Amino acid sequence: AALRIPLLLVRNELPAPGLNLAARSGSCHQCLYQFLAFVPPSNESLRKPGTASVMVDTQHPLTLLLNSSVGDRDLCKIQYHFGEFGNYSLVVKTLSTSNQTVSCDLIINEGPINSYLPILFAFLVYMGILALLIAGRLLMKIDPVRNWVYKKLNPRATDRMINSELGSPNTTDSINCDPAPQSWSSGSRQRLRSLDTFRGLSLVIMVFVNYGGGKYWFFKHESWNGKLHFPSALFSRFVFIMGTSIALALGSMLRWGSSKWKVLRKIIWRSFVLILLGIVVVNPNYCLGPLSWDNLRIPGVLQRLGFTYLVVATLELLFTRADSGTWEGRFPALQDILPYWPQWIFILVLETIWLCLTFLLPVPDCPRGYLGPGGIGDFGKYPNCTGGAAGYIDRLLLGEKHMYQHPSSGVIYQSTMPYDPEGILGTINSIVMAFLGLQAGKITLFYKDQPKQIMSRFIIWGIVMGVISAILTKCSKEEGFIPINKNLWSISYVTTMSCFAFILLLLIYYLVDVKKWWSGAPFLYPGMNSILVYIGHQVFANYFPFKWKMQDSQSHAEHLTQNLTATTLWVIISYILYRKRIFWKI
C-alpha cells in the first residue's frame, strides 16, 4: 500500500437490509473480492444514513463492489484509482422507487496530495550538484584558474586528484585479487570502466530501494507477474555483469600465467565466502536475537550469486583459452559462440531441467505446471500453491522455516505460504542469466579492437532476447506461455532482463569506453567496491547516519531525504576508498 492511506466514507441512504462493501485490486489477477465493511441501512425515522469508514489502497486502481447483505444482489460496481491522503465519500441512494434503481456516487471531499513533489525537488538538487561539478571541471581546464588552484593546494596532490578521473587504479593495489573485469590489453591491465559503471549504477539504485525508496510504491517489487519496477531489474543486472566479468577475468589470469587448478581453487573459495557471508552476515536479523538455526533463511542474494558464480566460472574455465585471438574455424562471425558449443549444450540441458520441473513435477493439491501466487489469486482455488513447483521444492528440501517468510505476493494476493524468491529452482535461470552476461564478455574479448563490432553484437543480442521474450509472453502480462516473473525467475524474465542489460551495457560502453564523454563517476566508485558497499549497507542499515528517528513517519519527503542521504553516504565512502586505493575483494 502507499504511504498515506486515504479514507473512504460510505453513506447508505437505502432502507434495510444493509450493504456489504468489497474490493479487488487492479493488479490482482483473477482474484476474489475481499470484504471491507458492512454498511448499515439508513434510519428512516431519523432520516440518518448508515455509514462505514474504510481505508483503501492507492498503489493500484481498485474495483469497489456493493451488494445487498441479504440475497447477495449486486447493486453497483465502481473502478477508481484513489490518491494518497485523499478523503472520499461513496453515496448510495435510490433514484427511482418504482424500478429500484440505485445510484453510487463517488465524491472527493478532500483532494489527494501531490506525492511526487519530493522526488522532483530531489532530482533538481542532484542536477544542481552535477552542474556545479561539471562547471568546476571546465574551469580547471582554464590555465589561470588551474594555476591559482595549484598555488592554494599542494600541486602534486591536486594533479593526482585531477588525473585520477582519467584512469583507473592498477589491480595490484587491491587488497586481494578479484575476478574483476580487465580490459583486453594485457600490457596495460586497465579495467574496462563501463563494467564498473554498470555494476555501480545497479548497486546505487539497489541500495536506495533497499533503504525504502522514499516509500513510493513503484520502488517496490511487483506482487507477482508483470510490470518491471526498478527493483525487479537490479539483482538480474548484478548476475549479468558478474558473467561478463568472469569472461574477462579468467582470460586475463590465464594470460598472466595462472594454472587452471589455481584459478579453480580461487573460484571455489570465492563462492564459499559469498555464500557464507550471505548466510551468516547479511540474512540474519541480529536485532531479533542471536543467530539460530531453527529459523535461519538458507537462500539469499549473496548465496545465489556465489553458487551462480561457481557454476558459470567453472564452466568457462573448462573451455576458455589464454589467447583470445581470431578463431581459425568456419564461420568467423560466430567465433564467440561456436568454439564453446559444449557450454551451450550444458545451458540448454539446465534450461530443459527447469522447464520439466516447473511444468511436469507433481505438486500435492496443486495443478501441474502452476505458476501462480496462490492465496486469493485464481479465484482462491489454490491458496497453498504459491510458486508451484519452485515453492514446493524449497519447502521439501529446505523446510518452511528456512525460507523467506514475507513474499511480495502476500500483500495483494494474501498468500500465507512461505516462498523464497532466491530459491533452488530459480537458481537455474540465474545461471542462464550469468551465462548471457558471459557472452557479452566474450564479445568484448574477441572483438577487442573493434568497438563497432562489439556494439552491433550487443544490439543483435538485445533484439534476439527481446524477440524471445515477446514470444514467451505473447506481449501480455498474464496470458503468455511463460509470464515475466521475478519471484520465479522465469525464463521470460531472464530473456527480458538480458535484453535490457545488453542495451544498457551498450550505452554505457559507448559513453565511457568508446567516446570517453563520461568517466563513469560517481557510479564507478561503488562499482569497484561492490561487495563492501552491498554488505555494509545491509549491516549498518539501522545505524546513524544511515537511519534516524523521523518527525513525521507519514511524510514521503522525510523518507526520501533519509534514503537518499544513506545512499549518497555509501557513494562518498566508496569514493574515499577509491582515492585511497582500498578495494575489498574476495
Distance CA 290, CA 561 (A): 32
What local confidence, expressed as pLDDT, does residue 352 receive? 97
Whether residues 514 and 539 share a domain: the answer is no
Give which of 388, 250, 395, 375 is closest to 324, Cα–Cα.
Answer: 250
Residue identified by cell 574477441 is: 446
Q: Is 94 helix (H, G, I), strand (E, B) or coil?
A: strand
Whether residues 439 and 383 share a domain: the answer is yes
In a domain, 121, yes or no: no
In a domain, 93, yes or no: yes
Give which of 31, 18, 28, 77 is closest to 57, Cα–Cα.
Answer: 28
Q: How many CB atoms lie within 10 A of CB 172?
A: 8
Expressed as residue numbers, the domain containing 47 is 7-110
What local confidence, expressed as pLDDT, does residue 108 receive? 92
pLDDT of residue 184 exceeding 80, the answer is: no
Output DSSP code: residue 5. Answer: P
Question: Residue 97 is part of a domain; what is its CATH number?
Answer: 2.60.40
Whether residues 464 and 483 share a domain: the answer is yes
Lowest mean pLDDT among 10-19, 181-190, 291-300: 181-190
* Tens digit of each residue's pLDDT (9 = 90 or more) over 378-437: 999 999 999 999 999 999 999 998 998 888 888 889 998 999 999 999 999 999 999 999
* 134 or 180: which leads in pLDDT: 134
* Tens digit of each residue's pLDDT (9 = 90 or more) over 534-577: 999 998 988 999 999 888 888 889 999 999 999 999 999 999 99
* Tens digit of each residue's pLDDT (9 = 90 or more) over 168-182: 333 333 333 343 333
Last residue of a domain, one of 48, 79, 110: 110
Whether residues 297 and 344 share a domain: the answer is yes
* 442 or 283: which leads in pLDDT: 442
Whether residues 221 and 239 share a domain: the answer is yes
Last residue of a domain, one of 518, 539, 570: 518
Q: Is 380 helix (H, G, I), strand (E, B) or coil?
A: helix
In a domain, 484, yes or no: yes
Whether residues 506 and 531 share a domain: the answer is no
pLDDT of residue 466 exceeding 50, the answer is: yes
What local confidence, expressed as pLDDT, does residue 187 receive? 35
What local confidence, expressed as pLDDT, does residue 382 receive? 93
Average pLDDT value for residue range 496-502? 95
Mean pLDDT is highest, among 92-106, 242-256, 403-417, 466-480, for: 466-480
In a domain, 401, yes or no: yes
- How many helices and strands in the chain, by DSSP H and E? 16, 8
Average pLDDT value for residue range 438-449? 90
Output DSSP code: residue 225. Answer: B
What local confidence, expressed as pLDDT, does residue 357 receive? 97
**What are the phi and psi torsion angles at 52 (to 5°)?**
-155, 140
Instruction: Mention every residue, 6+ apart, whose C-beta is less than 8 A from residue 441.
Output: 181, 243, 244, 245, 246, 247, 248
Whether residues 429 and 571 share a domain: the answer is no
Whether residues 513 and 528 share a domain: the answer is no
pLDDT of residue 133 exceeding 50, the answer is: yes
Q: Is 467 helix (H, G, I), strand (E, B) or coil?
A: helix
Instruction: Mention every residue, 6+ apart, whose C-beta is less than 8 A from residue 301.
Output: 235, 278, 282, 422
Whether residues 497 and 401 share a domain: the answer is yes
pLDDT of residue 114 exceeding 90, the answer is: no
* 323 or 343: which leads in pLDDT: 343
What local confidence, expressed as pLDDT, does residue 359 receive? 96
Whether residues 233 and 367 share a domain: the answer is yes
Give which of 584, 524, 536, 586 is closest to 306, Cα–Cα.
Answer: 586
In a domain, 144, yes or no: no
* Tens digit of each residue's pLDDT (9 = 90 or more) over 15-66: 878 889 999 998 888 898 999 999 998 887 777 888 999 988 888 899 999 9
In a domain, 215, yes or no: yes
Please provide the average confidence, as pLDDT, over all residues in the chain.
85
Q: Enumerate the H helices of 75-214 as residue ranges.
A: 117-139, 143-152, 155-163, 193-210
CA angle 356, 362, 365 (to 5 degrees): 145
Percent of the chain with pLDDT over 70: 87
* Tens digit of each residue's pLDDT (9 = 90 or more) over 261-293: 999 999 999 999 999 999 888 776 666 667 778
What local confidence, expressed as pLDDT, does residue 287 receive? 60
* 499 or 143: which leads in pLDDT: 499
Last residue of a domain, one of 501, 518, 535: 518
Whether residues 447 and 546 share a domain: the answer is no
Distance CA 211, CA 196 (A): 22
What local confidence, expressed as pLDDT, does residue 328 receive? 60
In a domain, 549, yes or no: yes
In terms of Cβ atoms closer than 10 Å to its own Cβ (0-12, 13-18, 19+), residue 70 is exposed
Distance CA 471, CA 481 (A): 8
What local confidence, expressed as pLDDT, does residue 123 receive? 93
Whether residues 105 and 230 share a domain: the answer is no
pLDDT band at 96 (very low <50, low <70, confident <90, very high): low
Lowest mean pLDDT among 140-154, 298-312, 315-329, 533-547: 315-329
Domains contained in the chain, number: 3
Give the CA-trace dihedral at 219, 225, 226, 231, to 10 degrees.
20
pLDDT of residue 113 exceeding 70, the answer is: yes
Lowest mean pLDDT among 183-197, 257-271, 356-370: 183-197
pLDDT of residue 99 exceeding 80, the answer is: no
In a domain, 157, yes or no: no
Q: Is 285 helix (H, G, I), strand (E, B) or coil?
A: coil
Report, as residue numbers or ranges, the catalytic residues.
Answer: 221
